[in-house]
């Protein structure tokens, strides 16, 4: 996630050249994203709310499956419930080929004081135009086919089992590290990755793991002074 680009005032990615980025904090106790709160802030200032759920889309899909099946109500953990636009990559926890998806609201807007009654969302043409002809090259048909299969699989009950197992594996890694006395950001994990705060130790772990053929990646942790010298590593499914 890109807010780190703002740290130290250095612009190190294209995103930070086009956008002005501000980091946000999460609830110290729960570490959760509070989509409802983001919605309230956006409404207050008349902004759109976009969630890039690239990392967690597989978990979101699994949760939504569970909701549809009536097992659990997880409305507050569902970005679709609150955001105007939801974007995701497809090759992280969603388990597809490398690609992306953009979801946007369509049709009538919910009634609001001081707004015309027949207001409709106008994202469709703008987003489609921004993709093509503005940005995208030719279609990658092989990828579209494998993507369709990934989405079909994400709708299956087998996928929920898979998503739960991904989480269980990472929770186990997190517990093991904590038992060994190491420090994890948020003190553990409830998703598909752990962020290991190595600042007490110095960040040589990525290099050492690399030498042992274990792939982890350096990752900024809250409080780092620059994204160019990240204080942690990320372990789990698709940390990159």
Q: Interface with ligand PLP by CB under 6 A: which residues? A: 1, 52, 54-55, 89
- Residue least distant from ligand PLP (Cβ): 54
214/236 Cα distance (integer angstroms):
11
Q: DSSP for 57-104, please give it.
A: HHHHHHHHHHHHTTS---GGG-HHHH-SEEEEESSSTT---S-EEEEE
Q: Smallest distance, Å, CB 52 to ligand PLP?
A: 4
Q: Given the complex with ligand PLP, which of 55 and 192 has the nearer CB atom? A: 55
* b/e map 65-95, b = 16+ CB within 10 Å: bbeeeeeeeeeebbbeebbbbbbbbbbbbbb
Q: Smallest distance, Å, CB 202 to ligand PLP?
A: 26
Q: Smallest distance, Å, CB 141 to ligand PLP?
A: 19
Instruction: Give strand ranges (E) for the chain.
Output: 50-52, 85-89, 100-104, 183-184, 193-197, 217-219, 232-236
Q: Given the complex with ligand PLP, which of 52 and 160 has the nearer CB atom? A: 52
Q: Given the complex with ligand PLP, which of 91 and 105 has the nearer CB atom? A: 91
Q: Smallest distance, Å, CB 147 to ligand PLP?
A: 13
Q: Smallest distance, Å, CB 201 to ligand PLP?
A: 25
Q: Given the complex with ligand PLP, which of 52 and 206 has the nearer CB atom? A: 52
Q: Given the complex with ligand PLP, which of 18 and 118 has the nearer CB atom? A: 18
**Residues 121 and 105 sit within 8 Å (Cβ to Cβ):** yes
């Amino acid at each position: 996630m890109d807010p780190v680009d703002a740290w130290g005032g250095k612009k190190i990615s294209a995103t930070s050249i086009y956008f002005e980025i501000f980091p946000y904090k999460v609830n110290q106790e729960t570490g959760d994203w509070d989509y409802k709160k983001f919605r309230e802030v956006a409404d207050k200032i008349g902004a759109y709310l976009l969630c890039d759920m690239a990392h967690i889309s597989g978990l979101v899909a699994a949760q939504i499956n569970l909701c549809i099946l009536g097992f659990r109500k997880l409305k507050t953990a569902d970005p679709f419930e609150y955001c105007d636009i939801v974007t995701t990559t497809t090759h992280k926890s969603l388990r597809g080929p490398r690609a992306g998806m953009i979801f946007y609201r369509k049709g009538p807007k919910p009634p609001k004081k001081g707004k015309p009654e027949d207001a409709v969302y106008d994202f469709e043409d703008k987003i489609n135009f921004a993709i093509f002809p503005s940005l995208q090259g030719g279609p990658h048909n092989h990828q579209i086919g494998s993507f369709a299969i990934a989405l079909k699989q994400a709708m299956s009950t087998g996928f929920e089992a898979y998503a739960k197992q991904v989480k269980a594996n990472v929770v186990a890694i997190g517990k093991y590290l904590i038992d060994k006395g190491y420090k994890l950001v948020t003190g553990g994990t409830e998703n598909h990755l752990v962020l290991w705060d190595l600042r007490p130790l110095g960040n040589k772990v990525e290099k050492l793991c690399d030498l042992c053929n274990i792939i982890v990646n350096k990752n900024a942790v809250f409080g780092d002074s620059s994204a160019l010298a990240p204080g942690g590593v990320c372990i789990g499914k698709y940390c990159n």
